[in-house]
Amino acid sequence: MRFPFFSYYCYYYSVVGLIYVLLFFQIPAFPARKISAPVRVLTADAYNATWGNFEKFIDVGKGSRVSGMSELKQYFHRFGYLSPMKAASFDDVFDDSFQSAVMKYQENLGLPVTGKLDSVTIKQIVTPRCGVSDSIASGAGRWFHITKHFAYFYGHPRWVKSKPITLTYAFAEDHLIDYLSLDEIKAVFRRAFSRWEAVIPMNFTEVEHRVADVRIGFFRGDHGDGEPFDGVLGALAHAFSPENGRLHLDAAETWAVDFKSQKSSVAVDLESVATHEIGHVLGLAHSSVKEAIMYPSLSPRTKKVDLRIDDVVGVQALYGSNPNFKLSSLLESDSTSNQPVDSRTGSCRWAVLTATIFLILWS
């Protein structure tokens, strides 16, 4: 009699999984990246002429001098790769410090580390992204890079209440948009909150604005929180770490709840952004996993609303697991989204993935 657990298929996938886990955990175990609040979130500058002009730097390498390189250096400074002390004196020369910045950028974004502005790197640079820095300098120029994919705000802030935690939320009715009804907006946020509610022991309840933990509204330009919006397809939204509770969306954007009815080429999916922003409200910073909700980029006319393993592991590390949540369903969803699971190997792959998640949580 052949026992399925000891089949050739199971042996194969167990070995592959073990190799993956060993390789993964040979990476130096630095803490999850910590980011100071507030966060400017989800910029979509792919349609911004300034970023689009960066395409002219394809294949430029060390030693080159190209007009406009100083603007690209400002980009790298903005996202944490060049020292703030040099921001006022950037020139057009691809020097040693800029090559180091490019390599750090490539490493952080999971790109081939070439030290050149190759086409893959430039494509990433001009892709819509978040306005928060990718790397945070601390002390004498010391860099903290993310090794676990998910990250937190500085100090790991979280909502401290008795369990099960109830967070209240409300909408600033004098800061809405006129082409979406309040009922439509509320329905979007109910779905977004429910996704996080399903995986942690927390409930979200709508209340009056003046007593709410989380306060949601649409604003334009400088709206008094120190994080001014910059117009269409700039910073789409931003949120603040616990227990601040402010969640602001840029009223200049074309927000969509249904792309079938909203035909604009620059329409932004409200539910995708809402789900991401709630992650910030709960204490998560950005993930390096492109499929994760907490990945910083979102292109126009893109819908991305499902939590992935990285999102779940990160938020459960802060709050614990909803007792009704079954990790197996998420593992199966994530694995089958990439390739079909053979009946003889599905249980083995599930075991390998479970072991990997266990090691991530306890490493």
pLDDT score, position 21: 41
Is 225 annotated as a binding-site member?
yes
Query: Picking from 72-76, 141-145, 233-237, which range would have the lowest pLDDT averaged per residue?
Result: 141-145
Closest alpha carbon to 107 in 68, 81, 86? 81
Q: Give 304-333 pLDDT, tens digit per residue.
A: 999 999 999 999 999 999 999 987 778 766
- As given in the structure block, the two tokens for residue 293 are 């909700």
Query: Picking from 13-22, 118-127, 224-233, which range would have the lowest pLDDT averaged per residue?
Result: 13-22
Burial 176-193 (b: 16+ CB within 10 A, else e): bbeebeeeebeebbeebb
Residues 6+ apart with CB under 8 A from 156: 34, 283, 318
pLDDT score, position 288: 77
Is 294 annotated as a binding-site member?
yes
Reported for 59-62, long-range contacts at CB under 8 A and 24+ positions apart, including other chains, are: 59/116, 59/117, 59/118, 59/119, 60/94, 60/116, 60/117, 61/94, 61/99, 61/115, 61/116, 61/117, 62/94, 62/95, 62/96, 62/98, 62/99, 62/115, 62/116
Q: Give 174-225 pLDDT, tens digit per residue.
A: 999 999 999 999 999 999 999 999 999 999 999 999 999 999 999 998 999 8
Residues 6+ apart with CB under 8 A from 296: 41, 42, 129, 130, 132, 286
Q: Taking the domain 43-127, which CATH number applies?
A: 1.10.101.10
* DSSP letter (8 states) at residue 296: S
Q: Give 82-130 pLDDT, tens digit per residue.
A: 886 555 689 999 999 999 999 988 887 778 999 999 999 988 787 767 6
Q: Is the pLDDT of residue 15 over 70?
A: no
Is 231 annotated as a binding-site member?
yes
Q: Taking the domain 165-318, which CATH number applies?
A: 3.40.390.10
Interstrand relation of 165-171 and 214-219 (parallel, antiparallel or unpaired): parallel
Q: Is the pLDDT of residue 244 over 50?
A: yes
Cα 284 from Cα 171, distance rounded (Å): 22
Q: Give 338-348 pLDDT, tens digit per residue.
A: 443 333 434 44
Is 96 annotated as a binding-site member?
no
Q: Give 260-278 pLDDT, tens digit per residue.
A: 999 998 899 999 999 999 9
Q: Give 48-92 pLDDT, tens digit per residue.
A: 544 668 889 999 999 999 999 998 898 888 777 888 655 568 999
**Per-domain boundaries in the chain:** 43-127, 165-318, 326-363
pLDDT score, position 35: 45
More confidently predicted of 31 and 321: 321
Is 149 annotated as a binding-site member?
no
What angle in degrees, to the nearest 10, is found between the helix axes of 327-336 and 309-319? 160
* CA 220 vs CA 173, 179, 228, 235, 251: distances in Å: 15, 16, 8, 11, 5
pLDDT score, position 277: 94
Q: State the pLDDT confidence band at 290, using cuts at 50, 70 and 90.
A: confident
Q: What is the mean pLDDT of the chain?
A: 77
Catalytically annotated residues: 277
* DSSP letter (8 states) at residue 4: G
Interstrand relation of 202-206 and 39-43 (parallel, antiparallel or unpaired): unpaired
Q: Is the pLDDT of residue 254 over 60?
A: yes
- Average of per-residue pLDDT across 246-260: 94
Q: Which helix (H) or strand (E) holds 194?
A: helix 182-197
- Average of per-residue pLDDT across 136-157: 55
Is 175 annotated as a binding-site member?
no
Cα 102 from Cα 72, distance rounded (Å): 11
Q: Give 275-289 pLDDT, tens digit per residue.
A: 999 999 999 888 878
Q: Is the pLDDT of residue 39 over 60?
A: no
